[in-house]
Structure 1
Amino acid sequence: MKARTLQKDKVNIITLGCSKNLVDSEVLSGQLKANQVDVVHESGKLDHNIVVVNTCGFIDKAKEESINTILNQVDLKKKGRLDKVYVTGCLSERYRGDLEAEIPEVDAWFGTLELPLILKQFDADYKAELLGERMLSTPKHYAYLKISEGCNRTCAFCAIPLMRGQHISRPIEELVKEAESLVQKGVKEIMLIAQELTYYGLDIYKKRMLADLLKRLSDVRGLEWIRLHYAYPNKFPLEVLDVMRERPNICNYLDMPLQHAADNMLKAMKRQSTRAEMEELVAAIRDKVPGICLRTTLIAGFPGETRDDVEELKDFLQRQRFDRVGIFTYSHEEGTSGYQLTDDVPADEKQARAQEVMEVQQEISYEKNLEKIGNTYKVIIDKKEAGRYLGRTEFDSVEVDNEVVIHSAKKLPIGDFVQVKITKAYDYDLEGEVIE
């Protein structure tokens, strides 16, 4: 151990959970690097002596993964492979007291908004002039841009406000500057993320400003794709769609989690929308942006959900025909209003219902993909695997949506855009050939 302590510190950051956590890790990495601290992200080499685990506390499965990761790092510390283990992020914010008692081997615990305190562990100063500077952990051609923090909603199933606090928008000028910096690093696509995208600006500008932000971002030279994630349906600012339609570098793509379709479930979930209102909004969106790709996420097994509710959800999907759908099984979270209800749907039944709903969507996805055969799309090349290239159209986000499999004898540089004619369709993927 003596030789280890004489070596310069090297920090490995492990990120769990969502893209918002990933951005936090990238900001921490950028700050450490600016303070001359050697830092890597999710390195498997074990040539570091300090680990920071950025945890997720969203649902039971995520909490379990976070705790197992912490325990694995603590075990490495016990074996002398690490000097320090620090923990930050949502799980740490929410359960710090309990975790400190249960895992005393962790050197320090930090909440979601305590970046300066983490830096102090490394005798590092928070550099305000680095606002927006990050050490990207994504491939260099795309990045996430977090436009706000926290959430003011009180959805019955969601613990995020407990971990992330109230909604705080970032100023437009700051976001434009960060986007310009990302483009200078080679980024061609940015994905706007927030707990609730469409609330943006209400706190600092006293009105919804997502449309104005999009105009400013779409003027950034070299930014080829802008993608919108996590829009809330209630009081959706329709002017966003006008900007999307007018600006060619804003993807015709919208990720809008709806969570359910049965009115009694929406009311119990405190979603502030009815099925009829959601259907009206979806129609308005498709009317304003013809051909838009709509992604949504749903929850199976919320307390009180009946078979009739599941059938209504399936009917909703069949009628609305979303392009992309994800589904979670309900997780009973302490501190939420849903926790006051009886978690009366058994775990295996939740899973069965989720599977049942996804089978409906699988068929819809396949039918929609079949319609693309023979069409040509602009595709960004993400990676090469097993002798083939994998890319995405503007209708697909990273990791959660379809990929386009491209067989090409010609080298296709990662991050380049190519025109691809679709030749085959599967449930969730496409195949195509490059058009010269």
Structure 2
Amino acid sequence: MKRVDVITLGCSKNLVDSEFLIRQFEAGGFTVEHDPDTPRGEIVVINTCGFIGDAKEESIDTILDFVEAKKRGKIRKLFVMGCLSERYFDQMGQEIPEVDKFYGKFNWKELISDLGSSFRPDLTNERSLTTPGHFAYLKISEGCNRTCSYCAIPIITGKHRSKTIEDLLDEASFLASKGVKELQVVAQDLSYYGTDLYKKRRLATLVEKLTEIDGIEWVRLHYAYPAGFPKDILDVMAQNPKVCTYMDIALQHISDNMLKLMRRGITKKESIQLIREMREKVPGIHLRTTMITGHPGETAKDFEELLEFISATRFERLGVFPYSHEEDTFAWKNYEDNIPSSLKQERADRIMELQRNISRELNEQKVGQTLKVIIDRKEDGFYIGRTEFDSPEVDPEVLIPDSENLKTGQFYNVRITAADDYDLYGRI
């Protein structure tokens, strides 16, 4: 039993955990495949997500699919770890006894010893990449100290815990030695980085040091929080060409009524001022944000105010989630989930239709420009790449005819020739 399939569900932070686990497996002599189309291992490990209803449903369905595979003799051992397992540990063990063992989000090291190997502390900062070799996610902290009404993450992950700058530089240096050129810096809350270890926000310091690592050409920032945002990172972004002019910052809403009900710790006026300051200090910055529709208490007036804000602000990147009423959150305990699902979705659809038009207009402004592009893959007659304004999987891509004979993982200067709602087209 030395062949393992690791299945990762959910966000990039989960993916990082899987990559650490795979590195330990491989050091123990296991053969590992990640997210195979057809699992072939004797052992399957599922790293679950438990953030919102749809993600929990996907995790449960995946577990049950592999329970059936185990019953048919296709696999011999099934293990489950991650956020869903952490959140519903006892309940899942009782309801799905066919799983050989459940682990939480942080005790997956036990899995190594349970399979007859031993955890290697000397490999703590080493990972086996599951992304294309030229980019990797760098998780700089765990947990969250915020108390947003709708969010179950603090229940699952606990309080914010920063990794030390030294460990992160060691990890990033290892990644660079393996050919990584682009770091996607991720955390549940980038804004809080360093406050626990260094008693002050140290995101700007960390990012500056990451850009000094040989081989790293782009550093991109994900999941900042608007309240208490560390504005010194904007100076670093404006002055350092290796820091992508891109910021993923979740606003969730804009009306003061909703921001208060959501317990966001910021006002509409402060949110607008922060966005203004970002765009003034970092000309050309591309902002990615998310919004929530149908949170308890959202009135038609609140929603129209949100639409007006999105229309006026013209975010370069925007996603939306219909509200999910999550157990044990502040909203679960204190609010009634009384907005129909159909209305939540209708509001989300209206936002995305508005954003589709904004995205097309902003994309069309890039036609004729020459942009630096990294090539991720080749498919369907095109090389698929991204600019510094685009994160993998969630943002627009640049499509270049495969007659150009390019190399994956390399940077090229690409002249943009055409645009559609979300993607760009170009030639070298």
TM-score range normalised by the length of the shorter chain: over 0.9
Residue 60 of structure 1 corresponds to which residue in structure 2? 53
> Could you give the per-residue CA deviations for residues 53-95 of structure 1, whole angstroms, max 9, x where no partner exists?
0000001100000000000011011011111100000000001
Farther off after superposition, 290-299 or 119-128: 119-128
> Could you give the per-residue CA deviations for residues 129-175 of structure 1, whole angstroms, max 9, x where no partner exists?
11220111001011000000111111111000111111110010111
CA distance in 2, matches of 1:227, 1:293: 11
Alignment of 1:357-396 (within 5 A): 357-396=351-390
Aligned match for 1:47, one of 34, 40, 65: 40
Q: Confirm or deny: 8 A CA contact 1:141 1:187 kept in the other structure.
A: yes
Q: Confirm or deny: 8 A CA contact 1:87 1:108 kept in the other structure.
A: yes
Alignment of 1:173-192 (within 5 A): 173-192=166-185
- Opposite residue 334 of structure 1, the aligned amino acid is E
Change (3 A) 1:313 1:77: same
CA distance in 2, matches of 1:294, 1:44: 34
Alignment of 1:286-325 (within 5 A): 286-325=279-318
> Could you give the per-residue CA deviations for residues 163-218 of structure 1, whole angstroms, max 9, x where no partner exists?
11111100101111111111111111110000000100000001000000011001
Q: Per the alignment, in what secondary structure is the counterpart of residue 206 of structure 2?
A: helix
Alignment of 1:146-161 (within 5 A): 146-161=139-154
Q: Confirm or deny: 8 A CA contact 1:169 1:203 kept in the other structure.
A: yes
CA distance in 2, matches of 1:395, 1:219: 21
Residue 3 of structure 1 corresponds to which residue in structure 2? none
Residue 195 of structure 1 corresponds to which residue in structure 2? 188
Residue 339 of structure 2 corresponds to which residue in structure 1? 345
Pairwise CA RMSD of aligned residues? 0.9
1:121 CA drift (Å): 1.5
The two structures have a TM-score, normalised by structure 1, of 0.97
Residue 97 of structure 2 corresponds to which residue in structure 1? 104
Q: Per the alignment, in what secondary structure is the counterpart of residue 384 of structure 1?
A: strand
Aligned match for 1:242, one of 235, 246, 255: 235
The alignment status of 1:406 with 2:385, answered yes or no, reads no
The alignment status of 1:228 with 2:218, answered yes or no, reads no
> Could you give the per-residue CA deviations for residues 292-343 of structure 1, whole angstroms, max 9, x where no partner exists?
0001011011011111111111111111111000001110000100112110
1:42 CA drift (Å): 1.2
1:375 CA drift (Å): 0.5
The alignment status of 1:418 with 2:412, answered yes or no, reads yes
User: Which of structure 1's runs of 4+ aligned residues deviate more than 6 A?
Assistant: none
Residue 14 of structure 1 corresponds to which residue in structure 2? 7
Residue 4 of structure 1 corresponds to which residue in structure 2? none
Q: Confirm or deny: 8 A CA contact 1:254 1:295 kept in the other structure.
A: yes
1:128 CA drift (Å): 1.4
CA distance in 1, matches of 2:176, 2:112: 27
Alignment of 1:88-103 (within 5 A): 88-103=81-96
Residue 433 of structure 1 corresponds to which residue in structure 2? 427
The two structures have a TM-score, normalised by structure 2, of 0.98
Q: Confirm or deny: 8 A CA contact 1:408 1:433 kept in the other structure.
A: no
Q: Confirm or deny: 8 A CA contact 1:298 1:326 kept in the other structure.
A: yes
The alignment status of 1:114 with 2:107, answered yes or no, reads yes
CA distance in 2, matches of 1:128, 1:14: 24
1:408 CA drift (Å): 4.2
Q: Confirm or deny: 8 A CA contact 2:193 2:202 kept in the other structure.
A: yes
Q: Per the alignment, in what secondary structure is the counterpart of residue 254 of structure 1?
A: strand
CA distance in 1, matches of 2:414, 2:284: 18
